[in-house]
Amino acid sequence: MADRHADALLIGGGAASHACAVALRERGFSGSVLLVGRELDPPYDRPPCSKEYLRGERERPATYLSLPGDVDVLTRTSVMKLDAAARVARLSTKEEVSYGCALLATGANVRRLPVDGAQLDGVHYLRALGNADAIREDAEGLGPARREAVVVGGSYLGTELAASLTLMGKRVTVLMQEDVPLERAYGRRAGEWFQARLEREGVTFVGGESLAGFAGDDEERVTEVLTSGGRSLPARMVVVAAGAVPDVMVAKAAGLEIGPMGGVRCDASLRVIGAEGLWAAGDMCEWESPLHGGPARVEHWEVAAGHGRTAAAGMCGEPVEHAEVPYFWSDVADWVTSEYVGVVGPEGWDREALRGSFESGAFSMWYLRGERLVGALSVRRGDDLDEARRLIASGERVTPQDLERP
Ligand SMILES: Cc1cc2nc3c(=O)[nH]c(=O)nc-3n(C[C@H](O)[C@H](O)[C@H](O)COP(=O)(O)OP(=O)(O)OC[C@H]3O[C@@H](n4cnc5c(N)ncnc54)[C@H](O)[C@@H]3O)c2cc1C
């Protein structure tokens, strides 16, 4: 006999669980809803961790997301074990919770790089509010005399961190495997534009090299970042932004199927394959996506929230296929906001089209695979994304010439 029953149990306290809880109530779900999250905080807005919150421009409570009052929330509590057949979860408090339906939304963890010196003081990773606190305290504690900071990784998180740390008074170098930042997501041409934009603000880039290790002083504090090309970059602090790994620990232990992209396998309506009454959402969900034409796993805030809403529809007995074109935005300080929609999978794209111009700082890049649009990036041309969404969803044939003309 379980200690407690929830008609809907939401496992994980992030964007996906939050959106699912809100959508359940909006759809008139009248049963009990219990959200269990292992962090110290209730569900919060994670993207500011590399932006306003990191820079101390937003207070912690202002990041909290509001939930309907009749949703029970347990913080600092993990789901340790899930028996999907019996529909019972075991919590870190030793309580057992039986459920009618459940959402698995355990998100992702940072990808750690196991190099020499990784344990030194001043080497940071960023996923949660607590990590942002530690980075801010370290940056402030070093003071203006010890300004050198290195960010490892040239993705959106790396560029956001480089911008925030620069605003916090640091002299930032970005070390990345790509030749230019954001190349994997936005391609070489757009990446070069972002690099030039950040260089104008004083950020230095070291591209085409990997992290080889860290060296430190007698006090066990980092002093240098060592690269695969034999360079030594002075560093009083380091933030490693080398990607995320879906957190499928509970799913794996429950015997659920893990897909080729490392997420828990779901059908197009986000029902977990082989487990009645169980849905998955967010960074750890690998779903059969009609728009991608196969399995997809995406780490974007709006996708996680959209997944939560799709799962809620299913829990209310009104299943729908999850077919929203994934949307992503990134703020590089207030210097550049980029927005992106796309269904680019491992195959990537083979042609690009540019609308507007890099010189004007207002442009959109369109990414095609064959004659199909698979992605679009906008900088100060947000209206283009509506057209991009429509073309991506319809699969209409287009050429780069069609796209260069509004
Ligand atoms: C610093 C940072 C900045 C970002 N900025 C942007 C941005 O600008 N734009 C954008 O689109 N996306 C951004 N993202 C990505 C976005 O935040 C994620 O895609 C989104 O948070 C995923 O939501 P989720 O609910 O799947 O997982 P998460 O937000 O990771 O939430 C999962 C939660 O579940 C908890 N959990 C895990 N296992 C258990 C368990 N067994 N029991 C209980 N709880 C558990 C975790 O601790 C975590 O709190 C950013 C991410 C980071 C880290």
Q: What is the CATH number of the domain that holds 353?
A: 3.30.390.30
Helix (H, G, I), strand (E, B), or coil: what is residue 404?
helix
User: Please, which pLDDT band fits residue 128 given cuts at 50, 70 and 90?
Assistant: very high
- Both 130 and 277 in one domain: the answer is no
The β-bridge relationship of strands 4-11 and 96-104 is: parallel
pLDDT (0 to 100) of residue 145: 80
SS3 percent helix, strand, coil of the chain, rounded to 5, is 25, 35, 40
Q: How close is the Cα of 103 to the center of ligand 1, in Å?
A: 15
Q: Report the C-alpha gap between 375 and 391 in whole angstroms.
A: 9
- Both 65 and 81 in one domain: the answer is yes
- Both 101 and 120 in one domain: the answer is no
Domain count, the chain: 3
Task: Flag whether pLDDT at 405 surpasses 90.
Answer: no
Question: What is the pLDDT averaged over residues 337-359?
Answer: 96
Minimum-distance ligand 1 atom for the alpha carbon of 128: 53
Q: Minimal CA–CA distance to 238: which of 212, 265, 261?
A: 212
- Both 184 and 212 in one domain: the answer is yes
pLDDT (0 to 100) of residue 78: 98
Q: How close is the Cα of 108 to the center of ligand 1, in Å?
A: 6
The answer to whether residue 326 is domain-embedded is: no
Q: At residue 268, what is the residue type?
A: A
Is ligand 1 within 6 A of the CB of residue 301?
Answer: yes
Q: Which helix (H) or strand (E) holds 89?
A: strand 88-91
Residues 6 or more apart whose Cβ sits within 8 Å of residue 396 = 372, 373
DSSP class of residue 44 equals: B
- Both 174 and 61 in one domain: the answer is no
The answer to whether residue 137 is domain-embedded is: yes
The protein residue with its alpha carbon nearest to ligand 1, atom 4, reads: 47
Q: How close is the Cα of 46 to the center of ligand 1, in Å?
A: 6
Q: Provide the 10 A C-beta neighbour count for residue 399.
A: 11
The answer to whether residue 388 is domain-embedded is: yes
Question: What is the pLDDT averaged over residues 87-92?
Answer: 98
- Both 155 and 262 in one domain: the answer is no
Q: How close is the Cα of 93 to the center of ligand 1, in Å?
A: 23
Angle of CA points 371, 376, 379, to nearest 5°: 150
Is ligand 1 within 6 A of the CB of residue 105?
Answer: yes
pLDDT (0 to 100) of residue 146: 87
Task: Give the end of a domain, one of 196, 217, 240.
Answer: 240
- Both 170 and 103 in one domain: the answer is no
Q: Which domain holds residue 136?
A: 112-240
Q: Minimal CA–CA distance to 7: which of 101, 116, 106?
A: 101
Minimum-distance ligand 1 atom for the alpha carbon of 327: 11
Task: Give the end of a domain, one of 225, 240, 255.
Answer: 240
| Angle between the N-to-C axes of helices 183-200 and 156-167, in degrees from 0 to 180, rounded to the nearest 10 | 20
Task: Give the end of a domain, one of 191, 225, 240.
Answer: 240
Residue 358, φ and ψ in degrees, nearest 5: -65, -35
The answer to whether residue 327 is domain-embedded is: no
Minimum-distance ligand 1 atom for the alpha carbon of 46: 17
Is ligand 1 within 6 A of the CB of residue 329?
Answer: yes
- Both 117 and 28 in one domain: the answer is no
- Both 135 and 232 in one domain: the answer is yes
Task: Flag whether pLDDT at 406 surpasses 80.
Answer: no
Round the average pLDDT of the chain to a whole number and report it.
Answer: 97
Ligand 1 pocket: which of 301, 325, 331, 332 to mutate (most atoms <8 Å of CB)?
A: 301
Is ligand 1 within 6 A of the CB of residue 63?
Answer: no
The answer to whether residue 277 is domain-embedded is: yes
Q: Do residues 368 and 348 touch, judged by C-beta distance below 8 A?
A: no
pLDDT (0 to 100) of residue 239: 98
- Both 227 and 149 in one domain: the answer is yes
Torsion on CA atoms 252, 254, 257, 262, rounded to nearest 10:
-20
The answer to whether residue 332 is domain-embedded is: no
Whichever domain contains 134, its CATH number is: 3.50.50.60
Q: Report the C-alpha gap between 391 and 371 in whole angstroms.
A: 11
Ligand 1 pocket: which of 103, 283, 331 to mutate (most atoms <8 Å of CB)?
A: 283
Q: How close is the Cα of 300 to the center of ligand 1, in Å?
A: 9
Q: Minimal CA–CA distance to 153: which of 185, 183, 177?
A: 177
Residue 84, φ and ψ in degrees, nearest 5: -70, -30
- Both 78 and 182 in one domain: the answer is no
Q: Report the C-alpha gap between 343 and 287 in whole angstroms.
A: 13
pLDDT (0 to 100) of residue 335: 97
pLDDT (0 to 100) of residue 296: 97
The protein residue with its alpha carbon nearest to ligand 1, atom 18, reads: 301
Q: Report the C-alpha gap between 108 and 263 in whole angstroms.
A: 10
- Both 256 and 305 in one domain: the answer is yes
Q: Phi/psi class of residue 239: alpha, beta or left (left: φ > 0; alpha: ψ in -120 to 50)?
A: beta
Task: Flag whether pLDDT at 80 surpasses 90.
Answer: yes
The β-bridge relationship of strands 222-227 and 211-216 is: antiparallel
The answer to whether residue 352 is domain-embedded is: yes
Q: How close is the Cα of 277 to the center of ligand 1, in Å?
A: 23
Is ligand 1 within 6 A of the CB of residue 251?
Answer: no
Is ligand 1 within 6 A of the CB of residue 47?
Answer: yes
Please report, rounded to a whole number, the percentage of residues in the chain having pLDDT higher than 90.
97
Is ligand 1 within 6 A of the CB of residue 250?
Answer: yes
Tens digits of residue pLDDT in 136-190: 999 999 888 889 999 999 999 999 999 999 999 999 999 999 999 999 999 999 9
Residue 217 token pair:
């002083």
